[in-house]
């Protein structure tokens, strides 16, 4: 047992210790310094300091003696930890960090205040953690010093080091503590006064002086100088790329947007990306999402992306079936609507566990996690979670800020996509109600129809067609209402059903169209249409046409010869003194009558050339021998190829072919 020292002697010892520590610090800064020798010397100084502390006030009593001893101890510890030339950590028996020096903070690329209070193993990669915990426990239990290889998760990249662990007893502490000293590393440690931002450095200093054993505020991991600028520029590039990518879709598609966003984040910011979303409820009007928090909706796993090796792809498939569980970070972010950053994740179950109970972080080898809400401007509809192994440093506040912005952008795109999809469903339902479910079966003829919606917008189109019985036979009608939307749909319904109804007691198409014109005069939209009355004539048919400002009907003869019917008439709903254009056609077996809307002729290619009637007639002639449905299909394919799938208006076609007598 060393002799006891009075406070005055302790002060002298401290002064000598300060001098020797300064010499060690200077020696460590020399180009050819022996880091190992410096480390051993620092440990000797630490042991001497602790030995001196044990003798202070051993037989003294009274508050003043205890206060003086505690103050001396504080000064000695502060001197050792602040001025030691190597990274040093003071740990409690459970591995919690009680104090670190500046060199240790620089090793991790953060501030002293951030490190204090966290588990020491949280700053190490997953492969290091379990052996390190065992060694810590052995040191506490046996008191034997040991050296352990450790891979620290540095601010910019992992840092390999050899850590020496030694058990110490400190006055006032009921349990032993452990001093961890990081020895020579394979990756140079850059120690710079600017390696930690000023705001964080000030916070760390305050933690050293006044709250060494308190819980520090969470701070980000930052870089400095050119690297900080490069990091900032890179993240701004990522944000710009995500914005451009999300806005690039001409038609909003939720699945495409989410997967593209996940792929970009996995390529630029994280090794693993999880996106969880609340499914859209079908009965929810207006494309809105059900209120998530405290409601009946819960996020479901939407996308999981990781590295492209075989093991990671298998893990991604398993994790894609694992929805966020209560208490996990994604669930907490979703419930609270607030982002979360775990630069050094301590709890391995932070992202939950698989069916076998294995923590997700262990499965993917992740040590740093952040999560942000996906919000549509009104409510939280999901979360984005990033996870990484620390190979490029832990996530920072800058990463969190960028991801928060991405979460908002993605949420707005999802909201627009769901609104678009909902409106498209309503439009499709309404459009379907304006067209016949099936075409009737007419003896001696073959009927076919095609309807192709415009690729832009979700409004109901104005095209309609129908085939129906009349007083003297059958009628075919095809028309186009000016404009789109619900108002146009009402006019479409009036025109289509008006033609069908009037045809039951009026025989000539001109009379039918005149009656419908009168009904549409009160509407604000006009309608173009062609109405064909079909009646048997020998082995063929006689077709009587009434035209109201519509493109002319086309006859494709069995031998491929094309005839175009007359034009004429004015659109319905414009004038009281309506007069329809008239024409009469005779169809022989094998002949085909084709009605179509003006959207077919006016469809444009990228160079603004219209599809036109000549191209239509050529296509019909080339497929004159095909079944009538195949003929219309060929026209549709030729049209879509011509305009590269970009239709600005709806296209409708209705065709009737007279069958040969042998097939009647």
pTM over 0.95: no
Integer Cα distance of 215 and 206 in angstroms: 12
Q: Judge whether 426 and 485 are in contact, CB under 8 Å.
A: no
Integer Cα distance of 526 and 509 in angstroms: 18
For the stretch 595-606, pLDDT in tens is 999 999 999 988
Choose between 208 and 108: higher pLDDT.
108
Integer Cα distance of 257 and 246 in angstroms: 6
Q: Which helix (H) or strand (E) holds 11?
A: helix 7-28
Judged against a pLDDT cut of 50, whether residue 202 lies above it is answered with: no
Look at residues 385, 465, 525 and name the one whose alpha carbon lies nearest to residue 650.
465
pLDDT at 478: 95
Query: If you average pLDDT over residues 224-238, what whole number do you get?
Result: 60
> pLDDT class for 656, splitting at 50, 70, 90?
very high
For 278-423, strand residue ranges (E) read 300-305, 340-342, 368-375, 380-388
Look at residues 372, 352, 406, 373 and name the one whose alpha carbon lies nearest to residue 289.
373
pLDDT averaged over the chain? 78
Residue 602's SS3 state is helix
| CA distances in angstroms from 188 to 185, 196, 426, 514, 522, listed in the order given | 6, 17, 63, 92, 85
Q: Which domains are seen in the chain, by residue range?
A: 7-220 (3.30.450.20), 226-425 (3.30.450.40), 435-663 (3.60.40.10)
> pLDDT class for 113, splitting at 50, 70, 90?
confident
Range list of H helices, 143-224: 198-210
Look at residues 68, 47, 46, 48 and name the one whose alpha carbon lies nearest to residue 56.
68
pLDDT at 642: 92
Torsion, Cα of 358, 305, 393, 147 (10° steps): 30
Residue with token string 């490069």: 230
Integer Cα distance of 530 and 28 in angstroms: 96
Range list of H helices, 582-645: 598-602, 612-622, 628-642
Least confident of 196-205, 284-293, 360-369: 196-205
| CA distances in angstroms from 429 to 451, 517, 597, listed in the order given | 14, 27, 21
Residue 494's SS3 state is helix
Integer Cα distance of 412 and 43 in angstroms: 58
Judged against a pLDDT cut of 50, whether residue 481 lies above it is answered with: yes
Look at residues 24, 50, 18 and name the one whose alpha carbon lies nearest to residue 38.
24
pLDDT at 571: 94
Residue 543 exposure: Cα atoms within 13 Å on the Cβ side: 30
Choose between 196 and 185: higher pLDDT.
185
φ, ψ of residue 313 to 5 degrees: the values are: -65, -35
Asked whether the CA dihedral 77, 82, 85, 90 is positive or negative, the reply is positive
pLDDT at 268: 84
pLDDT at 448: 95
Angle, helices 35-55 vs 63-83, to 10°: value is 180
For the stretch 524-570, pLDDT in tens is 889 999 999 999 988 899 999 999 999 999 999 998 899 999 888 99
57 φψ region: left (φ > 0), alpha (ψ -120 to 50), beta (else): left
Q: Which residues of 41-64 are buried (b: 16+ CB within 10 A; e: fewer)?
A: bbbebbebbbebbbbbbeeeeeee
pLDDT at 153: 87
**592 CA to centre of own chain:** 51
Q: List, in sequence order, every residue forming a beta bridge with 564; answer none if it has no partner.
A: 554
**How crowded is residue 82: how many other Cβ atoms within 10 Å of its Cβ?**
17
> pLDDT class for 154, splitting at 50, 70, 90?
confident
Judged against a pLDDT cut of 80, whether residue 591 lies above it is answered with: yes
pLDDT at 297: 76
Integer Cα distance of 329 and 369 in angstroms: 9
């Amino acid at each position: 047992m060393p002799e006891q020292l009075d406070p005055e002697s302790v002060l002298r010892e401290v002064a000598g210790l300060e001098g020797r520590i300064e010499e060690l610090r200077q020696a460590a800064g020399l180009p050819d310094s022996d880091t190992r020798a410096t480390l051993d010397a620092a440990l000797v100084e630490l042991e001497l300091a602790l030995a001196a502390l044990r003798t202070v006030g051993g037989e003294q009593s009274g508050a003043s003696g205890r206060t003086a001893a505690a103050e001396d101890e504080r000064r000695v510890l502060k001197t050792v930890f602040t001025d030691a030339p190597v990274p040093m950590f003071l740990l409690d028996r459970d591995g919690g960090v009680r104090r670190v020096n500046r060199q240790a903070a620089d090793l991790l690329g953060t501030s002293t205040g951030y490190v204090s209070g966290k588990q020491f193993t949280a700053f190490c990669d997953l492969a290091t953690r379990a052996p390190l915990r065992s060694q810590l426990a052995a040191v506490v239990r046996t008191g034997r010093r040991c050296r352990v290889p450790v891979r620290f998760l540095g601010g910019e990249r992992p840092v390999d080091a050899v850590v020496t662990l030694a058990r110490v007893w400190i006055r006032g502490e009921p349990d032993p503590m452990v001093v961890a000293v990081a020895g020579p590393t394979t990756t140079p440690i850059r120690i710079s006064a600017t390696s930690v931002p000023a705001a964080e450095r000030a916070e760390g200093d305050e933690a050293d002086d006044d709250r060494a054993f308190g819980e520090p505020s969470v701070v980000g991991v930052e870089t400095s100088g050119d690297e900080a600028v490069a990091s900032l520029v890179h993240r701004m590039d990522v944000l710009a790329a995500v914005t451009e990518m999300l806005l690039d879709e001409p038609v909003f598609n939720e699945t495409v947007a989410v997967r593209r966003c996940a792929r970009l984040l996995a390529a630029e910011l994280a090794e693993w990306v999880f996106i969880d979303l609340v499914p859209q409820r079908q009965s929810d009007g207006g494309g809105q999402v059900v209120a998530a928090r405290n409601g009946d909706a819960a996020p479901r796993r939407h996308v999981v992306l990781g590295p492209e090796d075989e093991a990671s792809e298998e893990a991604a498939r398993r994790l894609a079936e694992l929805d966020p569980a209560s208490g996990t970070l994604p669930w907490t972010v979703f419930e609270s609507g607030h982002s979360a950053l775990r630069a050094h994740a301590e709890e391995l179950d932070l992202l939950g566990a698989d069916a076998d109970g294995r923590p997700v972080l262990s499965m993917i080898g992740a040590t740093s996690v952040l999560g942000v809400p996906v919000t549509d401007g009104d409510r939280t509809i999901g979360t984005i979670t990033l996870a990484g192994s620390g190979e490029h440093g832990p996530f920072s506040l800058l990463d969190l800020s960028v991801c928060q912005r991405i979460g908002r952008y993605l949420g707005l795109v999802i909201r627009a996509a769901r609104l678009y999809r909902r409106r498209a469903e309503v439009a499709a339902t309404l459009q379907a109600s304006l067209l016949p479910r099936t075409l009737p079966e007419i003896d001696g003829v073959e009927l076919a129809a095609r309807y192709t919606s415009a690729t832009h917008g979700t409004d109901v189109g104005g095209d309609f067609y129908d085939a129906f019985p009349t007083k003297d036979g059958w009628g075919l009608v095809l028309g186009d209402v000016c404009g789109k939307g619900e108002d146009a749909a009402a006019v479409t319904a009036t025109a289509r059903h008006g033609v069908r109804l009037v045809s039951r007691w009026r025989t000539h198409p001109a009379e039918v169209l005149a009656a419908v014109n009168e009904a549409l005069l009160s509407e604000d939209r006009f309608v173009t249409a062609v109405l064909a009355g079909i009646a048997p004539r020998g082995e063929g048919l006689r077709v009587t046409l009434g035209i109201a400002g519509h493109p002319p009907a086309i006859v494709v003869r069995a031998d491929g010869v094309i005839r175009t019917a007359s034009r004429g008439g004015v659109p319905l709903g414009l004038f009281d003194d309506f007069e329809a254009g008239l024409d009469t056609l005779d169809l022989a077996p094998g002949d085909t009558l084709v009605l179509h809307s003006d959207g077919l002729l006016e469809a444009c290619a990228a160079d603004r050339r219209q599809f036109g009637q000549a191209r239509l007639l050529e296509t019909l002639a080339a497929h004159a021998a095909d079944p009538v449905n195949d003929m219309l299909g060929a026209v549709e394919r030729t049209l879509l190829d011509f305009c590269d799938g970009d239709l600005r208006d709806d296209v409708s076609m209705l065709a009737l072919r007279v069958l040969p007598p042998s097939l009647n």
